[in-house]
Amino acid sequence: LATATTAPPDAAGAATVASLPRATIEADGTLVVVNFPDGARTAFHTIWLRDHCRCEQCFHPKTLQRLLDTSQIPLDIKAVSATVTDGGSVLAIAYSGTDHKSTFSLDWLRLHSYNPKVRLETDEPKRNIRLWGAELAENLPVVPYDEVMGSDAGLAKWLKNIDEYGIGFVSGVPATPEDTERVARRISFIRESHYGTFWDFSADNAHGDTAYTNIPLPAHTDTTYFTDPVGIQLFHLLEHRGEGGASLYVDGFNAAAQLREQDPESYALLSRVRVPAHCAGDADVLIAQRPGAPILEHDAATGTLARVRHNNDDRSALSGLADAGDVPRFYAALREWTRCLRDTRNEVWTRLGPGTVVAMDNWRVLHGRAGFSGFRRMCGSYHGHDDYRSRVATLVYGAERQRRLL
């Protein structure tokens, strides 16, 4: 499209004196410029408007899926009329070469504006990410079992805790695998892996993984060797006859923020260098992710930290670095990162017991445990990150508000 990079008229997006909303056709019909009441101004390519038509012929009202075959839209399609109707709330468009017409809510157009972006602060929900350290142990985010199981409003409280803190506890859960699994399935269906579906395990070396031993486990995230690491990890300590075994939690986002402030070079390196990982303790399992992924993974669009992926025990041979000079720099950065993780001011130690379920965002919160003696029985599950975020979107932020983003 020859006008694909055409900008809207001068002062696009700038606030001016409030006026009635209006639309004008420019660039020989290939652009529609929209002026909002507060003076904000943006433009949409006509082919973009045709592609995003939300009438029932083009967008299924039930499945919310596109019905239009985008490849059949003429690349030179033009707008022949553009009118703001319904008291200034709707844009109506007619196109060249077709009788089809589209209508768009001005609110929806503003939310999806791109040339330039003129969306309002209130247009999309912002996550309230609460960073924490050792002080969280004094006020753990807990929701009673009866609330979680009794209503979606109660479940939303638990999900909101996980969304904000990366961790959430449920108290008063009957200490059985069956009841724990019912709690887990309130979040989403369970993600099956080579460890099974819903686990019920003890330190019996049933799998070739240190989780099935009684030795201490440093703070780590799970499944660093997956291309798509699990999103939620859920645990319930059903029984422990012995000593030790306290649980450890570290807010990886908080530790990363500290590293970025104290040693930006190390932060940058751990955000760039790909670290391979593997799972190979069972004879019938060999998962080896190469070249791996950075310990600190960022959202490509916003640049914000999106995922912490760290388990030093599962790290494979570091042989894929393009720059040999990164080798000493990597070990120096890893030392600084580990220092942040093991700072006692960042560690939450708590002793789980029968009746308490904990769910962690495995993309954010690292977990570990002290060594222990005696018999210790745990149960739990993995859940996909997309499935967990879907539940948060519909119950915490509101499904209708989220669907405006489609």
pLDDT (tens digit per residue) in 194-225: 999 999 988 777 776 777 788 999 999 999 99
Burial annotation 357-393 (CB, 10 A radius, 16+ → b, else e) = bbbbbbbbbbbbbbebeeebbbbbbbbbbeebbebbb
Phi (first) and psi of residue 25, to 5 degrees = -100, 130
State how far the alpha carbon of 349 is from the alpha carbons of 14, 137, 256, 282, 346, in Å: 51, 7, 19, 30, 10
pLDDT digits (tens, 9 = 90+) for 11-37: 444 444 457 899 999 999 999 999 999
Angle among Cα 347, 179, 358 to the nearest 5 degrees reads: 10
Can you tell me the distance from the alpha carbon of 269 to that of 331, in angstroms, rounded to the nearest whole number?
10
Strands (E), 17-127: 22-26, 31-35, 41-45, 79-85, 90-95, 101-105
pLDDT digits (tens, 9 = 90+) for 346-396: 999 999 999 999 999 999 999 999 999 999 999 999 999 999 999 999 999
Contacting residues for 264 by C-beta, under 8 A, at least 6 apart: none
Conformation bin of residue 51: beta by default, left when phi > 0, alpha when psi is -120 to 50 = alpha
3-state secondary structure of 240: strand
Residue 124 pLDDT level (bands cut at 50, 70, 90):
low
Residue 74 pLDDT level (bands cut at 50, 70, 90):
very high
According to DSSP, the β-strands at 101-105 and 365-369 are unpaired
State how far the alpha carbon of 136 is from the alpha carbons of 140, 211, 341, 354, 358, in Å: 6, 25, 15, 21, 14
pLDDT digits (tens, 9 = 90+) for 279-290: 998 889 999 988
Q: Residue 172 pLDDT more than 50?
A: yes
Can you tell me the distance from the alpha carbon of 196 to that of 309, in angstroms, rounded to the nearest whole number?
22
Q: Residue 110 pLDDT more than 70?
A: yes
State how far the alpha carbon of 122 is from the alpha carbons of 37, 127, 181, 352, 401, in Å: 16, 12, 37, 40, 11
> Are 249 and 340 spatial neighbours (Cβ–Cβ below 8 Å)?
no
For the segment 54-73, the average pLDDT, to the nearest whole number, is: 96
Sign of CA dihedral 396, 398, 403, 406: negative
> Are 245 and 370 spatial neighbours (Cβ–Cβ below 8 Å)?
yes
Residue 3 pLDDT level (bands cut at 50, 70, 90):
very low
As a whole-number percent, the residues of the chain with pLDDT over 70 amount to 95
Q: Residue 304 pLDDT more than 70?
A: yes
Specify the amino acid at residue 53: C
